[in-house]
Amino acid sequence: AAWGVGAPEACKPGELLALAEPGTVDPNSPGASSDAARGSRAVSNVFEPGSTAKVVTMAAALETGLATPANQYTVPYAFTTANNQTFHDSHPHPDLKLTLAGILARSSNAGTVMAGQNLPQQVRYDYLSKFGFGTATGLGLPGESNGILHPVDQWDGRMKYSVLFGQGVSVNAIQATQVYATVANGGVRVQPHIIKDYVDANGIVTKPEFAEPTWVV
């Protein structure tokens, strides 16, 4: 990989305990580093989340009553939708007998499309949005990208399925982290932050204001 980001988070308060990436900036002498003006790739660079988004699809299927963890599927290596779009798993395999939980455990693209194909397109969009895709995290770092979440009327015949397993959308690293932080926090999404409080010269502590938590699932 050309670069990576480490962003451990305390899920309930939304505190990023560290934010590490290649390139070092001395905060006491930021002008001395060629990386000083770059900002943080954790918020500025976006990528397709891929399998991270399968958690969103599973949450939507469970929350809407479309499926339960024990629903059973026969999952082929390649699955073709009603509009002749074919989706493959990462490696060839014979047909697999999987539950919904098994599809997630194996990270099956074909199985995820099978399980999520009956979710209305607007519902697919709504859950991606509720998990934070397409919206800035509010972390406060310069140069943050909102990522890319196209409205439903811009989804073509393939994208309406590919979003189920994290293609056709883009997120920054913190948005991807927030998917799992939300699930770990009992389905409540909180605003991530790197500043816990400010202390002035007189010792007075000021806490930043954060957005209200959102109950996602």
SS3 11: coil
Asked whether the whole model's pTM tops 0.95, one would answer no
In the annotation, is 129 catalytic?
no
Average pLDDT rounded to a whole number, residues 49-55: 94
- pLDDT confidence band for 22 (50 / 70 / 90): confident
Surface-to-core class of residue 68, CB atoms within 10 Å of its CB (0-12 exposed, 13-18 middle, 19+ buried): exposed
The whole-number pLDDT of residue 38 equals 66
Phi/psi at 16 (5° precision): -80, 115
- 25, pLDDT greater than 80: no
Average pLDDT rounded to a whole number, residues 67-80: 98
The whole-number pLDDT of residue 37 equals 54
- pLDDT tens digits along 29-47: 777 666 555 678 899 999 9
Catalytic residue among 33, 44, 51, 129: 51
The token duo for 158 is: 């393939």
Percent of the chain at pLDDT exceeding 90 = 82
- 131, pLDDT greater than 70: yes
- 26, pLDDT greater than 90: no
Residue 159 near residue 150, CB atoms below 8 Å: yes
- 50, pLDDT greater than 90: yes
- pLDDT confidence band for 142 (50 / 70 / 90): confident
Task: Please state, in angstroms and rounded to a whole number, the distance separating the CA atoms of residues 136 and 42.
Answer: 12
Residue 16 near residue 192, CB atoms below 8 Å: yes
Q: To the nearest whole number, what is the mean pLDDT of the chain?
A: 93
